[in-house]
Structures are given as structure tokens and as C-alpha cells.
Structure 1
Amino acid sequence: MHEDTPFTAARRLRALLAATILVFCGGAAFAQSGDVPKAPAPGTSGFTATERGPSLPFVGTQPVTLSAQLTAESPELSRGLIWRIFKPEAGDDGKLPLVMAEQGGTRTFDLAPGSYLVHAAFGRAGATKRISVGDEPRTENFVLDAGGLKLNATLAGGSRLAPAKVRFDILEADEGSDGERAMIAPQVRPNSVVRLNAGVYHVVSYYGQVNAVIRSDIRIDPGKLTVATMEHKAAQLSMKLVRAAGGEAIADTAWSVLTESGDVVRESVGPFAAMVLAEGDYTVIANNRDRIYQRSFTVKSGQDEDIELITSRDLADIGADGTEKAPVE
């Protein structure tokens, strides 16, 4: 068996700490916007952190005051922090035992002499230190080197999109050995402020639930709020099968939407097929009572459209060029 070098031992410890913090967060990433996750106390699934008033230290303990800043030049953070203090040796379950946890700003903990790992989390930004407690009070400051990211999306031309139809994923910029990027913050809402360590992140913007997807690498600077707006080229489409132009939609219709190359991008069943599609050429196929109707159409950014497929034999299929075709039997 090979002995760990100081480097590999430190790396192993960091990995163990990261895994332990994920367990205490319920396997989820830290909260975004102004929300602060509540860390659980040892042996429980959760805890409600409270502001601690002045109290006498326990016998044999020393006060350790912890504070954090976004940058070395910025003021101390007064709220939004999660402090977690761990023993540095893994327990029988393979996790680092949690000694104390609180939320807020600067905090003072009464700790027995010994070695500890202290993790400061501010949203999804964080920093870890190993500290040693002796026979005197001590103070530790954390410089998080963190900033914020606020995301929005528009259509080409600047039209703002409905927030309910837009979501963002924030991932690491670099791909792993498997070719995938690690997820940092999934399903982020527009206008939410996500706290992140400084660096470059890969952001994916989704408009609707089909193929209106765009990507961008965005840099976060320490101590600053980065506001980024991503531009989609897409439109909202609503499709229905009718017996005559302007008629009622026919129920129990199976829908398939295909790209110009024939790839299926969406399938559904119902009187209507409503979706957001990226710019491009498509074909919609409606299947009702073993009869098939189809129509080709072009999506242009920002031009929402209602598309009708008409069951009359001479109007069943209207192509993008206006040519009328019979339904496919």
C-alpha cells in the first residue's frame, strides 16, 4: 500500500468534505436568490438556525469568531452565510462529523481545543479552512472571492420573454473526463441572483420545453453582480386539426412535429399542440381516426402563429408554398 503524499491527502480530505456538505444539504445545491439553506444538526435531517445572544462559554472551550468577505477589500458579510464546523476525521459512516452549524453573518462559536474544518457557504460560493483551537480565543476571516449572476432572456429584437417559460442551467465551464460538465445550479429562474465563486461558467438557457436552447460562457468577477441577457430566436406555435377553416379543434388527435431533416422534436395527444420552437423549417403531422394530415411551416423569431390543419380532402395539407394537397391515406 502506498502512503498518501501531503498533496493526495489534502485532495482526499477536500473530496470528503465536499461529499459531507452535500449530504447535509440533502443532496441539493445551495439556495439561490436571497434564500439561505438550513443546515441540519448532527443526527437530524434539518435544523432551524437562530440568532445567538451573548452566552457564557462552556468549560474547557474557547470562543472562535468567524467572519467572511466577498473580496479582501469588501466589508464583512452581515447575512446570508452558512457556517459549518466539522471534525477533520471521518466517522464510522465515512462522513465528517458536523460539530456546529449556524447561519447569518459574523458568528462566534465555543469550541474545545483541537483541529476543525470550517466551511463558509454564501449561496453556491464557498471556502474551507482548517483551524486549530488552543487555549486562547481566536478570530478567522474568510475571503470568498465570490460574485453574483443575474440572468434574463429575450427574443431577437429585445422582446422580453415570459419568466414562466424560461429557465437556466449553470454548469462548470470545463468538461470532465466523461465529456460532461458538472451541474452547479439547475433550473434557475429569470432575475434570480445566484452567488458563485469567481470564474467562468457555462450557462444554458431554455425557452419552452422543445428545442429553443442557447448556450454561453459567462465570467463572474469577485465582488460584482454580473447581469447577462441571452437572446433566443424562436416563436410560440399553436396547432389544431379542424374540419373547416376557423372551426373547432378535433379531440383525440396525435401530433408529431419534425424538423426539415425528419427528426421528431415533439409528440403529444390532444385537440391542440402548443409549443415553443426555434427558428427553422418544420412539418407537423396530425393523426386522427387512422387518417393522417400534414403541413409544412416556417418558424421566424418572435412571430407567434396559430396553424390549422383542415380535414377537407381538398384542403387537408397546405404546404409552406401554399400548395394544397390531399391527406395521406
Structure 2
Amino acid sequence: MRFSVRRFVTLLAAAFLGMAAPYAAGQEGDASLDKLRLPGLNEYLPPQNRSPLALEEMGQVTLSAQLTEEAGEIPRGLVWRVFSPEPDRNGKLPLIATAQGGTSVLSLSPGSYLVHAAYGRAGATKRITVGSEPKSERLVLDAGGLKLDAVLSGGVRIPHDRLRFSIYEAEPEATGERPLVIPNVKPNAVVRLNAGTYHVVSTYGSVNAVIRSDIRVHAGELTEATVEHRAAQLTLKLVREPGGEAIADTAWSVVTETGEIVRETVGAFASMVLAEGEYTAVARNRDRIYQSDFTVVPGRNQDVELLPDDLVEAADTLTD
């Protein structure tokens, strides 16, 4: 059944006039309909003109990086960051987009940007302009790799869990300190760096077995460097007789020829790695102090025992 809007309005008007009849005596319902004026109504809702929202035009840019001008594109391990060239109110460049992997395709609003490619600790920055047409941008990192290791005299290998490297800039700052590039590098780990000379510090143990050297990294190449530590592992013990059991609760100090204290610890044993040289071991147990000189020979691990004969100050004899 078709029910028109005009028919609905007629019925509604009739109902309204019927309700008002007691208050308008002498008027008839049909005559009242002729006097009723209503605005024109359409039977159907007219279509609305809805246009789609305008989309901002985006430009597409393909980013790739190479170690050198002659090298191929880096396939993986890159981190791309795109910044606005205008700093914000905090003085920082707003980060617009990021991507990881190798060659990456980004969609950006037309305009100027700063693109940074990071490959490990190597990196390069380039200003680019994005338009409506697709384009490609290539960054040359001028970078290589560095692989570090260390041995003892005679080529004896050092346990890797006791060996660490730190890489610094070659040139010191105005304060005399070199800026730290990477701390705690594990042996045989490949570190990606921009080409140049770096100051490398190799530490065996945690006392004074330290080797410093300047190493040059070449673009597009893996530079492997092995340094030699002239040091040894020492264990200090306070005993009542040669080869005897170490006495607990002993305080230890290790002093160099110049009087510098290089290690202090407490325990029955005092184990450490020391650079070659002459040292003095000082042991304090209760109210007694013992002292003995010893020599560190590179690559020769040894036990250093302090005996009752090494007593230099005591109130009583050595007891448990």
C-alpha cells in the first residue's frame, strides 16, 4: 500500500481541527481544511550533494644507501629517520617517519626533509626535496667494519668473558678527553663505523691490564685487529704453610712500585689480572699485617702465598 506524504498531512490536519472543535463553534471540518495553509512538502527526500574530502597529495621517495660510491646497495641492517628541517619550540628537529631494513620506499608530503641513514655506528645525513613525482635518493655512508680481539704473549688466547674493548674518537676534545663512540665491545664482534681513525682501549680483567692503540677503519672493508696483552692471572692467599689452606676474612691490597694501590678486596682468595711488573701484596687478618713482593710475568698465571714469615706487624701470633 502506498502512503503519500500529502495524505499524511491531510489526516494530521483533520485530527488537529477535530481536537480544536469545542473551542471553535460554528466551523465545519471540511471547510477548515480549505483554509489551512501548509508549506510545500516533497514526498521523497531530495538527494544531497556530497563531495569526497580532499586528500593531501603525497610524494613517493625511494631511499637506498651504499658503503662507498662503487659498492652495491646495503640490503639490510639500515635504520632510516626522516626529520623536518625546521626545529620545534624545544629546538629539536621533529621526527616525521622511520623505516628499517635495506632500500625503503616512503610516502611524504611535498616539501624539504633531512634524511639520516644509520648502519650500526656508521651514518650519513642528506637534505632531500619531495614533490608530486616519485624519486630516488641515495646516501653514501663512507663506512667499513672493525673486528677486535686480543691475545697474551706467545699467542695464548684470552677468555672472552674477561676481555672488553671500548672505541673512542681519535682526537681529544678541549678538555683532553676523547669522546666515547662505543663501550664494552665484545671480542670478534663486527662494529660498523664511518671510515677514519679510532682510539681503541682493550681491557683484560678489571684492574690495570689495559692496551691502547689507534686503528684505522677503511671504507668498504672489514678491518681486523688483534692486540697483545702483557699480563697474567694472579691468586693471592694467606696461609700458615706453603700449599696450605687459605685463611678467610683477609683484607687485601695490591700496590705498584710507585706506591699506587691498584686493587683492594676482602676474602680468603684475591684473584685478579695484573699487567706485567713489580708489585707488593699486603694482607691484613685480625690485628696482623703481612707483606710480600712479587713479579708478574706476561702469560704466566701463578699463586702468590703469604706466610707467617711475611708478618710485618702483629700483637699476637697467627691463630684461627
Normalised by the length of structure 1, the TM-score is: 0.77
Contact 2:60-2:132 within 8 A present in 1 as well: no
Partners in 2 of 1:270 and 1:99 — Cα distance?
56
Task: Tell me if 1:85 matches 2:82.
Answer: yes
Deviations 1:1-42 (A, max 9, x none): xxxxxxxxxxxxxxxxxxxxxxxxxxxxxxxxxxxxxxxxxx
Deviations 1:292-311 (A, max 9, x none): 0011000000000011112x
Q: Which residue in 1 is equivalent to 2:236? A: 239
Q: Which residue in 1 is equivalent to 2:222? A: 225
Partners in 2 of 1:75 and 1:280 — Cα distance?
50
Shift of 1:211: 0.5
Q: 2:151 aligns with which of 151, 154, 171?
A: 154
Matched AA of 2:312: P
- Residues matched between the structures, number: 260
Task: Tell me if 1:132 matches 2:129.
Answer: yes
Q: Which residue in 1 is equivalent to 2:58? A: 61
Structure 2, gaps ≥5 residues long: 1-54, 315-320
1:92-107 alignment runs, 5 A limit: 92-107=89-104
Shift of 1:249: 1.4
Q: 2:170 aligns with which of 173, 178, 202?
A: 173
Shift of 1:65: 0.3
Partners in 2 of 1:75 and 1:204 — Cα distance?
32
Matched AA of 2:150: A
Matched AA of 1:112: S
Q: Which residue in 1 is equivalent to 2:138? A: 141
Task: Tell me if 1:249 matches 2:239.
Answer: no
Matched AA of 2:60: P
Partners in 2 of 1:210 and 1:69 — Cα distance?
41
In our comparison, the structure showing a higher alpha carbon Rg is 2
Shift of 1:94: 2.3
Task: Tell me if 1:327 matches 2:303.
Answer: no
Partners in 1 of 2:104 and 2:216 — Cα distance?
31
Deviations 1:121-145 (A, max 9, x none): 0000000001111221110001100
Q: Which residue in 1 is equivalent to 2:72? A: 75
Deviations 1:164-222 (A, max 9, x none): 11101100001111111000111100000000000000001000100100111000000
1:1-329 alignment runs, 5 A limit: 59-310=56-307, 312=308, 316-317=309-310, 326-329=311-314
Partners in 1 of 2:60 and 2:258 — Cα distance?
68
CA RMSD of aligned residues (A): 1.0
Residue 175 of structure 2 aligns to a residue whose secondary structure is coil
Deviations 1:271-310 (A, max 9, x none): 1110000000000000000100011000000000011112
Matched AA of 1:120: A
Question: Which 4+ runs in 1 deviate beyond 4 A?
Answer: none
Residue 247 of structure 2 aligns to a residue whose secondary structure is coil
Deviations 1:200-248 (A, max 9, x none): 0000100010010011100000000000001110000001111222222
Matched AA of 2:73: E
Structure 1, gaps ≥5 residues long: 1-57, 318-325
Partners in 2 of 1:75 and 1:81 — Cα distance?
14
Partners in 2 of 1:88 and 1:253 — Cα distance?
63
Contact 2:147-2:225 within 8 A present in 1 as well: yes
Contact 2:59-2:134 within 8 A present in 1 as well: yes
Q: Which residue in 2 is equivalent to 1:38? A: none
Partners in 1 of 2:106 and 2:56 — Cα distance?
13
Partners in 1 of 2:87 and 2:59 — Cα distance?
23
Partners in 2 of 1:62 and 1:94 — Cα distance?
27
Shift of 1:93: 2.6
Shift of 1:92: 2.3
Normalised by the length of structure 2, the TM-score is: 0.80
